[in-house]
Structure 1
Amino acid sequence: MIKLFSVKEKQKKEAAAANGLSKAVKQSAGELRLQKDISELNLGKGVSLTFPEGKDKLLTFEITIRPDEGTYKSGAFTFSFNISTSYPHDAPKVKCKTKVYHPNIDLEGNVCLNILREDWKPVLSINSVIYGLQFLFLDPNPEDPLNKEAAEMLQSNPRQFEHSVQMAIMRGSSIGTSYFPPCRG
């Protein structure tokens, strides 16, 4: 049987030695779980992970999704993740940094994804959230919109919706009263 406490103590000592410190900084349970989640990430084609504040700041990172099919094909969409130390009991805070015309993403970058709200459970992981975000680009849900204008266009005129999205991705364009800069991947 593995002695969990001795393994954690050894990790602390190794971290202290690597950083030249006599005492390692104690990590929260959320940080330990996040380390595990990140080490187990299965980033598929078109998904990348960056740590803008450095790899030692695990609680803040960015994911960029480049869909290779669907309406949002050829675009690059970056999401910021802010993880609380009470993760996985609290869902990650996810914002879209790329201005995008999407029924489930508003103009401020808020994301309407059920697992980030009422359906979050501690058994879910960062991988689950990434899959959910990818699915939003493959199959936008006009039934639960944050951007009602985009949802209405998708329902009433899907061809116009697709054309508008592609124009915005490739060249940048105005849709309604908002300008969307190009976001080619």
Structure 2
Amino acid sequence: MIKLFSVKDKAKKPANEGDAANKANKLSAAELRIQKDLVELSLPKNISIHFPEGKEKTQHFEITICPDEGIYKGGKFLFDFNIPSGYPHEAPKVVCKTKVFHPNLDLDGKICLNILREDWKPVLSISSVVYGLQFLFLDPNPEDPLNKEAAQLFQDNPRQFQTYVQRSIQSGCSINGHYFPPCPAR
């Protein structure tokens, strides 16, 4: 025999007692995927993650990269990640919050990284983006620049380029009329 009252009671429970369970069931595909990406994210010691709105707000976070080799060694660079509701079918929106003299970063923080634009695919993850950003500091690409002045100097006079980069990281300096504040990793 079916107990009708017990079925009605169970139907009422999710509305009040099971709110947390209901919310978990109502997560969007983007929220579920970003949670998976973050659980699987394994960052090296020179990269860290921060959730400025709290860890429960997983669709907005910051990544700090402190290169430990290459031209940008000793610097500290902050990237702001915003995950769109269409993620993973849409790429994360990433901006560099640190003003840096770099061929692939413009003065507004836009990033020239193909996987953030035309080469994004749903199989890519936050980890792919983080390692792509790290690679930009290890091997800047002057062939595909956003900052044409930085790219030209990098190609024409790599030693001068490196001097500017290190000076801007350690003490800040003006380059071609633009001030780059210091961003040491200490």
- Whether 1:163 and 2:163 are equivalent positions in the alignment is yes
Cα distance between partner residues in 2 of 1:22 and 1:80: 30
Deviation at 1:24, TM superposition (A): 2.0
Q: Secondary structure, in 3 states, of the residue corresponding to 1:132? A: helix
Aligned to 1:124: 124
State the one-letter code of the partner of 2:110: N
Cα distance between partner residues in 2 of 1:172 and 1:47: 22
Deviation at 1:85, TM superposition (A): 1.6
Aligned to 1:151: 151
Deviation at 1:148, TM superposition (A): 0.2
Taking structure 2 as the reference length, what is the TM-score of the superposition? 0.88
Q: Secondary structure, in 3 states, of the residue corresponding to 1:24? A: helix
- Whether 1:181 and 2:181 are equivalent positions in the alignment is yes
Deviation at 1:45, TM superposition (A): 1.9
Aligned to 2:54: 54
Q: Secondary structure, in 3 states, of the residue corresponding to 2:137? A: helix
State the one-letter code of the partner of 1:161: F
> CA 1:173–1:88 in 2, change beyond 3 Å: closer, same or farther?
same
CA offsets 1:43-93 (integer angstroms, 9 cap, x no match): 012000000011111000000000000000000000000001210000000
Q: Secondary structure, in 3 states, of the residue corresponding to 1:154? A: helix
Q: Secondary structure, in 3 states, of the residue corresponding to 1:115? A: helix
- Whether 1:99 and 2:99 are equivalent positions in the alignment is yes
Q: Secondary structure, in 3 states, of the residue corresponding to 1:146? A: coil
Question: Runs of 5+ in structure 1 lacking a partner?
Answer: 1-12
Aligned to 1:33: 33
Deviation at 1:37, TM superposition (A): 0.2
Aligned to 1:63: 63
- Whether 1:75 and 2:89 are equivalent positions in the alignment is no
CA offsets 1:89-141 (integer angstroms, 9 cap, x no match): 00000000000000000000000000001100000000000000000000000
Aligned to 1:136: 136
State the one-letter code of the partner of 1:137: F
Cα distance between partner residues in 2 of 1:176 and 1:24: 52
Cα distance between partner residues in 2 of 1:27 and 1:85: 11
Cα distance between partner residues in 1 of 2:153 and 2:34: 38
**More deviation, 167-176/24-33:** 24-33
Deviation at 1:21, TM superposition (A): 5.1
- Which structure has the larger Rg over C-alpha atoms? 2
Taking structure 1 as the reference length, what is the TM-score of the superposition? 0.88
Question: Runs of 5+ in structure 2 lacking a partner?
Answer: 1-13
Aligned to 1:24: 23
> CA 1:22–1:151 in 2, change beyond 3 Å: closer, same or farther?
closer
State the one-letter code of the partner of 2:98: T
State the one-letter code of the partner of 1:113: L
